Amino acid sequence: MSMLSRVAERLFWMARYLERAEDTARLVHSYTHLVMDIPRGSEPGWDILVRILNAEHAYAEHYRAYNEQNVMKFLLAQPDNSSGILNSIRAARENVRTTRDVLPREVWEHVNELYLYAREHAGNSSGRRYRYTFLESIIAHCQMINGMLVSTLPRGHAYRFIKLGRLLERADMTTRVVDVGAAVLLGDERLHSTVDPLIWASLLNSLSAMGAYQREIGPQVEAGTMVDFVLREGTLPRSIKFCLNGMRQELAPLNNNSHATKLVLKARRKLSAFDPQACSPEELHAFLDQFQLLLTTLYNSIDHAWFMTDERRATASLG
């Protein structure tokens, strides 16, 4: 079975953008709960959400102050914010529109419906009154679309590139949440260490992992155990280990997969050798920083192996 490189790339990015929209919605939803639960005067700043998504530069082009209203507008409704919900859904819709012939008909209908909903309601959802309803609807729509793809799409190349995109985006978000979120929320500037369990629980909720953690580990959320769980628990769908194992599985049937496969195996070895419960915050940050670079290298390898057309190669060589 063969597939045009441009089709494979659009399916890959469709999955990445849908995952990004859902993950950002989860993150904002969980963080809003956290701010409301923490005692007044010790709540963290809203800039953390922008830092987790590595969007400081884009934010500065539109806003000066990092207050709740500005950050919510930026993450929920800013049309040119590549890490925001509205832009991610718009980009996913465009990629589905141009690959409709290889996807179930219902996928286009539901993605288009999701886009129309987001376009209509994102601007009114920066305030807390409508925010939860909007975010929960985004999460539910994304889950429904992904469930439809899993249950109806044949296990061919289209499915493989969709799954690769989803898992790579998910792994990237998990590392960002643990790295930036933990470093900022639990840094020296925090006011009350007594709120640490609330903070770690919020990070777990943003990764949809709180229930699994409580069943596997227990009710008390502790830093080292939580980090180890979301990095190395192989049965947790949003853990780094789970994502790497899934990417390895989908790479295996593809031609020209040797370099990407080597990178995945290298990432698995690094993850297995690292012990989050025995490291300092500085060592954790260094490890996650290197791991994010490795994920970027993995994307570049996937892009070069399957998405790089002859025209793009010629352009790259001239550059």
Residue 1 lies inside a defined structural domain of this protein: no
| Domain hosting residue 299, numbered range | 7-309
Helices 157-176 + 128-152 axis angle, to 10: 140
Look at residues 168, 186, 174, 296 and name the one whose alpha carbon lies nearest to residue 232: 174
Report if residue 317 sits inside a domain. Answer: no
- What the block records as the tokens of 236 is 């947790």
Please write the tens of the pLDDT for every residue from 100-117: 999 999 999 999 999 999
Q: How far is residue 249's CA from residue 160's CA, in Å, rounded to a whole number?
A: 9
> Among the residues of 154-257, which ranges form H helices?
157-176, 182-185, 196-206, 210-216, 223-232, 240-251
pLDDT value at residue 198 = 82
DSSP state of 101: G
Identify the pLDDT of residue 318. 46
Whether 57 is in a domain gets the answer: yes
pTM over 0.75: yes
Flag residues of the chain having pLDDT under 50. 191, 318
pLDDT of residue 193: 64
Question: Is 237 within a domain?
Answer: yes
**Which pLDDT tens digit goes with each residue over 299-318?**
999 999 999 866 665 555 54
The total domain count for the chain is 1
In a domain, 107, yes or no: yes
Residue 2 belongs to a domain: no
How many residues are recorded in the chain?
319
**What pLDDT sits at residue 59?**
97
Does residue 318 lie in a domain region?
Answer: no
In a domain, 205, yes or no: yes
